[in-house]
Structure 1
């Protein structure tokens, strides 16, 4: 009897050793992202950091064979980031545990801060978009005079909103004229309401989601109507760009 049991145990171990390791399978997944996201370099920045934290690795593939898909359709999954008014969502297509781990990491505080820390060589920066809902990006039209009033009432807490204003703003925060001098100024102003740190304390009526009741704004919240947001962007477009001087040349 003991010999029979020993033989059965040996066969069981042999069969188990022939099976693929679930742990190894769960450490890899296939990820599909839009071309503009891949070309920005964001995945080259995110994925090594994710692998370092979790020992899970992603392979970038076409959408048809992916375990996780990031798309520019915010209704297709969970919003994870935004860029120039476009909100990107992540969805899982199966039960791959590594893909689930990536989704959880990307939506976490660490993942969201990693997205916000990435600085693309070209184009607008990416912003964390925790719980952002789809909404139309306001156009650069509206009443510049009303926009100036909105800027002085709300934006001047952190930004100097025009060249003649020397008494408001925070020294570490760029002024409107400085922002206007940047090549991607239109993208920044069009998507200002989803770019950090604005979602933490600012809402645009009919576009932004409600504040998370578990994370109330740390400062007096700002709520703008769509008319005020459009006016603010129209005013920003009318601000004269600052002279930031020539680009720094490294010796």
Structure 2
């Protein structure tokens, strides 16, 4: 009898975290392998007294299928939390989307791959510029016309001039399209570049100091199409060029 009373006393004095059944959380394998859940779930339980555990059969699920507001992302993959609408599950969602939850997510450093982010830009992204030129031809022309100064890609990775930005770096600029469209007017290009029907002939008394770069408008359009399809260099922070 005394043993039974002792058990009842212990149950009555147990913490809410121990008394409540844990909520299972299913997640994609990539999230489970990254270690994120082992980082955030104990911290949520400590703050709220609500136990959430990783469980492939759990009633909550992290998924890439849109469901209201996102909770975090990794690279280009955005994750959402599906719940059954119960109070404890919704509290977990609210915590993930709170400032504390976001800081907890972003404080996790995976051993491999990109970090997680809980920040989402709400501004509508500007439409990427479209060019109708032949990108394959543009790749060839870029090497032929620009490759002696600029690193265009892996094909001439070791052949550009060190002080001249690569196509990848230029592509990372927010105004890359306008720079490429008017490159022939930007120093030092006017001294040695001719675009048919657009630029004036060289002054007879000031000839090109190097073998001239000559282009037709169609060839320029092809180069623009190639650059538009080229990946930007990862600079780690926005680059500002005068």
Same fold (TM over 0.5): no
Structure with more relative contact order (C-alpha pairs < 8 Å, separation 6 or more): 1
Give the alignment's TM-score, normalised by structure 1: 0.42
Rg: which structure is higher? 2
